[in-house]
A and B are shown apart, each in its own frame.
Chain A
Amino acid sequence: MRNLKLIIQREYLARVRNKTFIIMTFLSPLILVGMFALIAYLSMLNSSEQRIIGLYDETEMFASEFKDQEQVQYLDLSGKSFKEAKQMVNEQDYYGLIYIPKNINRDLQGVQFFGKESPGLGTIQAIEKTIADRLTREELIERGIDVNQLNEAKTEVRIEIQNFSGERTSKMSNYIKMFFGGAAGYLLMMFIIIYGNMVMRSVIEEKTNRIIEIIVSSVKPIQLMMGKVLGTSLAGITQFTIWVLLAGVLAMTSFYVLGIDIFTVQKSQLETVEQIAQPEIAQLVMDVLNLPILKLIIFFLIYFIGGYFLYSSIYAAIGAAVDSETDTQQFMFPVILPLMLGIYVGFFSVIENPHGTVSTIFSMVPLTSPIVMLMRIPFGVPWWELAISVALLIITNFIVIWIAAKIYRVGILMYGKKASYKELFKWLKY
């Protein structure tokens, strides 16, 4: 135990003192914020562009329908000849020219758009809708239907979803669940990949430095491996804590700048919720508060630990099996595959049907369960499913760590040997 502590301590310090680690810890939040700012700026830049679109309308019905907007200005060129209009648009560098023929019918056949480059989807849809709306109105009038009456008759339906224990949910709350579950699963995957790689690199480093045999003459290989996994995970937790704190500081600052008093919000959440005028926002805050937050946190920790240990011991074994990082490729695929599968199943299947067969199976299979189950939990997962999934994860952890330790034990003492899967299998019997 004393040695394990020493190893954890060394591994932790080696990670945390690493220059790249320090730089990444403080730089990546800035990079992230910077990226968002850049994206926001770029899209602002994009949409602030003024466009002029010419309109050549032979029916003379639509000129009043195309109303100028912030970014788009319509110019009626129907007075000129079509050739002239086309030429003008081209010469003046307008965005494009809409051509509406005289005998336009209901399926909008014959309407054309001329432009230097193909227009954005949004632009086209807006134009189509404008023309279609007008034609629809004409059609309604022609059939003797009162447009005003029709508008009044339109209703808006918002289905209220309620489960048997009486918790109310809404479509909005589904999005929130998706967001929280997805964030948790994604975070876990990133953590596994980043810190699993760190474990692997540190094993390779010890092998290439040739210090490994000196160390294993003092401690058991399994101790070294576990110390490495634990020390690295502590470094990871440190990094995440710093990020959360930084995010907190940033959030506080921005709240302060924006004039939102976060403390009063916290003090009387429910009160504030009721005070908010718009029902949608009230519902949103209620939905967040209604999430099984405690359950989510507890299971995030369980799956986090289980998933991380499972994968990082595989990473450690891979590190032991190779001589340099370039040799790891052939072993990386089977590690990345289940992680990716978990994320894809999560983002497609769970969102579509959180309790469907695919989602349920993948939330049981230990290699994908940490990610998929975390995504399912906000939607409410029965206790027995959680129990089976966690039990399977723990059992698999024991098996995988046992196998990884065997490969590790043999691999760290093998130099200059390029291991194949066959070789690894043989090592299990050494």
Chain B
Amino acid sequence: MENLLVAENIYKQFGNFTALNNVSIAIPRGSIFGLLGPNGAGKTTLLRIINQITMPDKGQVYLDGKPLQPNDIAHIGYLPEERGLYKSMKVGEQALYLARLKGLSKAEAKERLEYWFKKLQIEGWWDKKIQELSKGMAQKIQFIITVLHRPKLLIFDEPFSGFDPVNAGLIKNEILQLKEEGATILFSTHRMESVEELCDYMALIHLSNKLLDGKVSEIKREYKSNTYEVGLETENDTALLAELKEKFVVGNTNFKSINDDLKLTIQLKEGETPNQLLNYLLAKAKINHFVEVIPSVNDIFIKTVTQHA
């Protein structure tokens, strides 16, 4: 079975508002899957449906090829966007409680908690109350609770929102390590750089519809526009610019450089190759910089979303 989780034709309506309109995603085993979308796109609703918190009106979710069962919650770890803990309960006690709700035995839960407390260097917190801890500290506990029962599928809703940079880095490393240990990870975010960094696959949801999904590298390839960024050193910038503008679609750009270059983006027509462009430029100027413009996830996101606005 290649995909760990498949959501098929999910449809969900709240009153007159359609939250999800025929959305399907497939998450390959062992991958990190990024669910993107502006606020209110329906990401959280989809995650809640996968967690069986909300039931879809239509559609079916499969885990390991089988329709999702109530006791599959033991195989899923969920860190919601709106997350918190009991303020007046002791850290250890509520971690035990939440772990046992996931099906762990008391002894098992205790042993694993001790391991994680040690790993994140928070051994002394067991008897503290949450109200004595800072927000960042509480987030560590929430993370531990999410992964404690060693789920096959980990779901993080906006995992980095609210984390300070140190904790965010820590969590990022833990996520990568969990992936190495074989977990499949689904997370939703509107922070594009984390998708760029972490995700193998992504899907974009906008206004309740899925606009885009697939391997991140493939999507990028699809979205690239045969554009190159060049830095040229010439005697006469204006003459060259005029000449280039006749032949290509030329735009201005900026990049870091120690030379006093003419910085341009040059979009080639279909069928033209970068070698042809290089050949052409070789005769005209000294080429200090030549790089293919690969669209960032951010660019893709903005482009797709504005197209469908």
Q: Which of A's residues lie within 8 Å of B, judged by CB?
A: 3, 6-7, 10, 14, 18, 205-206, 209-211, 213-220, 413, 415, 426, 429-430
Contacts and interface: CB of A to CB of B under 8 A. Distances in A.
Interface residues of B, number: 28
A263 B54 CA distance: 61
Nearest to A18: B88
A415 B81 CA distance: 12
22 contacts: A7-B101, A14-B88, A205-B87, A206-B86, A209-B85, A209-B86, A209-B87, A210-B84, A211-B84, A211-B85, A211-B86, A213-B53, A214-B78, A214-B84, A214-B85, A214-B98, A217-B53, A219-B101, A413-B48, A413-B53, A426-B15, A429-B15
A24 to B, nearest CB: 17
Contacts of B84: 209-211, 214
Contact of A214 (B70, B80, B88): B80
A214 B83 contact: yes
B290 interface: no
A210 B83 contact: yes
A385 B182 CA distance: 65
A7 B78 CA distance: 19
Interface string B117-156: 0000000000000000000000000100100000000000
Contact of A215 (B15, B87, B98): B98
A213 B97 contact: no
B112 interface: no
A6 B100 contact: yes
Contacts of A215: 98, 101
A217 B76 contact: yes
B102 interface: yes
Interface string B93-123: 0000110111000000000000000000000
Given A210-B83, A210-B84, A415-B82, A217 B97 contact: no
Contacts of A430: 14-15
Contact of B97 (A6, A209, A429): A6
Nearest to B155: A217
B87 to A, nearest CB: 6
Nearest to B54: A413
A124 B97 CA distance: 69
Nearest to B142: A214
Given A210-B82, A210-B84, A14 B53 contact: no
B51 interface: yes
A406 to B, nearest CB: 12
A426 B100 CA distance: 34
Contact of B101 (A206, A209, A218): A218
Contacts of B87: 205, 209
Given A211-B86, A413-B48, A413-B53, A218 B80 contact: no
Contacts of A217: 51-53, 73, 76, 78, 80
Nearest to B99: A218
Contacts of A14: 86, 88-89
Given A10-B97, A14-B86, 13 more contacts: A14-B88, A210-B82, A210-B83, A213-B53, A214-B78, A214-B83, A214-B85, A214-B142, A217-B52, A217-B73, A218-B73, A219-B101, A430-B15
B157 to A, nearest CB: 9
A374 B69 CA distance: 45
Contacts of A18: 88
A214 B145 contact: yes
Contacts of A209: 84-87
B122 to A, nearest CB: 18
Contacts of B85: 209, 211, 214
B142 to A, nearest CB: 7
B302 to A, nearest CB: 27
A218 B98 contact: yes
Given A211-B85, A214-B145, A217-B51, A6 B101 contact: yes
A415 B83 CA distance: 12
A3 B70 CA distance: 13
A426 B101 CA distance: 31
A415 B82 CA distance: 9
A402 B88 CA distance: 30
A205 B87 CA distance: 9
Q: Which of B48, B54, B101 has the most CB of A within 10 A?
A: B101
Contacts of B82: 210, 213, 415
Nearest to B57: A430
Q: Which of A210, A211, A426 has the most CB of B within 10 A?
A: A211
B228 to A, nearest CB: 47
B134 to A, nearest CB: 16
Contacts of B142: 214
Contacts of A218: 73, 98, 101-102
B110 to A, nearest CB: 15
A206 B80 CA distance: 14
A426 B15 CA distance: 7
Contacts of A6: 97, 100-101
The 10 closest A-B pairs by CB, nearest first: A210-B84, A213-B80, A218-B101, A217-B78, A209-B84, A210-B82, A217-B51, A211-B84, A426-B15, A216-B53
A6 to B, nearest CB: 6
A14 B86 CA distance: 10
Nearest to B146: A214
